[in-house]
Structure 1
């Protein structure tokens, strides 16, 4: 009998209790949640401190980021792959132990990739990168790996690019199932600029290891709130931004209460990570927004 949730299926698969079959329905249908009551947990994205964590001239280590997060009312941290000083097993084990010591889970590991590339060798590099980070995320005890689709190259067609992305994601999902990780495809512009474009990539993937990373600030459409609601039923993780960018309007402060209500109305189960990108200094803005989100999430 099939498990009721993708996470449950992945746990069984990782333990050797199941073999991945071709199951289009897992991706075609909205995710079956384990209960009728929403379950949101609050995380903080390391990307919020990207200037300080930039490996070219860092003023903060990933360990110090975890220390900072431990002072806030958080359940977890999201450790962006761009800022890992090392990727050795020893380093990953130390990060995991440090987060555990600070009573924080590691919610996910965002990865940057481009599966639209027409050059097969270059696209294979991107696929191998996602697979490697999936294995690292499993070692860290993370639940999700955020991935991108990418952007159309000059002279390419949307249909051809979509085919390459779906094939690449299917390939990566095999490793994700093996390690009990959920891949989360983000609405990140390019060929995922609208809900319809994003779901056109999610629905054909024959794996329970794929869901959506709901980025609340990435839809530059007439009604970003309505579009977030369209993808929320497919979400396995969410990155909440403090601003939205409606088409034809200036960037404006996001209604965080409205965004959290959209997630709750979709019976979302998973981590909600604050990903701060606004102009105010992160060290002063992030604690304020974390406290606001904590109240909204409960």
Structure 2
């Protein structure tokens, strides 16, 4: 079953319920009663090899590695594109297709909390540019961040700035049929309530949540992931979890998969490996475990 856009989810839900749905961001109405989760692999897991300062692996080689695993797609982090020309993007897209892998998404690193207007415009333009590039790659989502409070800033001021920036970027996302996925990435998205405070006010079918299972350092990260799962359009799953006041521990991947299934999640689950072990050894094991859990 192909990945549906948030607009498709809402349209399908409206048809099922025979009643119009408000365009506001609410828990996504997904077709059917069974989750449809496809498995992807984040390039970020191989960051020490892909780092453009001294790369020992190209995105093409990363795709080759992924093709040997039981995956449906690859997530191509924007940090590791050697070029951003149309010709290069076409080659990357063609290479993934040749290896029978979709490109699930393109994560971008941005900060919309920046107070300086000129500097914030650079951040907005970064997201806009990568949204266009994601569309050229055939990617469904662009992962974005909110950012961190600057000194002397109030949460309310930063939230207003982030919402305005996202609304501007969503105009480009809508034009290119791409979903922007706001991640729970600490800063002003450190709790489910803070994240949803940024998402809920925006009335756009092209906005959703990037669920990162390793980024809530709260008393119960699993419970908090379950709070944002109904808004998720993509999920990055980590192999570790760190509750408040505790040390990193092995994540219960089965529990996270169950949370997604209980939320009737439709979309890509991308393994984003950040643990200490050699990713070339550890990642294949976790991919196989996740494939088994997904069924």
Shorter-chain TM range is: over 0.9
Tell me, yes or no, if structure 1 residue 282 matches structure 2 residue 279. Answer: yes
Distance in structure 2 (CA, Å) of the matches to 1:45 and 1:25: 33
Do 1:27 and 1:210's aligned partners in 2 also have CA atoms closer than 8 Å?
A: no
After superposition, the C-alpha distances for 1:244-292 in whole angstroms (9 at most, x for unaligned) are 0100111000000000000000000000000000000000000000000
Runs of 4+ displaced beyond 3 Å: 23-28
Deviation at 1:24, TM superposition (A): 10
Do 2:242 and 2:249's aligned partners in 1 also have CA atoms closer than 8 Å?
A: yes
Q: How does 1:122-271 map to 2 (within 5 A)?
A: 122-271=119-268
Distance in structure 2 (CA, Å) of the matches to 1:203 and 1:155: 26
Deviation at 1:206, TM superposition (A): 1.8
Partner in structure 1 of residue 112 of structure 2: 115
Distance in structure 2 (CA, Å) of the matches to 1:29 and 1:125: 30
Deviation at 1:26, TM superposition (A): 3.5
Do 1:44 and 1:77's aligned partners in 2 also have CA atoms closer than 8 Å?
A: yes
The CA RMSD measured in Å over matched residues stands at 1.7
Residue of 57, 67, 72 corresponding to 1:70: 67
After superposition, the C-alpha distances for 1:92-128 in whole angstroms (9 at most, x for unaligned) are 0000000000000000000000000110111111001
Gaps of 5+ in 1: 12-22
Q: TM-score, normalised by structure 1?
A: 0.93
Deviation at 1:10, TM superposition (A): 10
Partner in structure 2 of residue 18 of structure 1: none
Partner in structure 1 of residue 77 of structure 2: 80
Distance in structure 2 (CA, Å) of the matches to 1:188 and 1:90: 32
C-alpha change, 1:286 and 1:9, in structure 2 (3 Å) is: closer
Partner in structure 1 of residue 291 of structure 2: 294
Do 1:5 and 1:34's aligned partners in 2 also have CA atoms closer than 8 Å?
A: no
Deviation larger for 156-165 or 29-38: 29-38
Deviation at 1:36, TM superposition (A): 1.6
C-alpha change, 1:202 and 1:25, in structure 2 (3 Å) is: farther
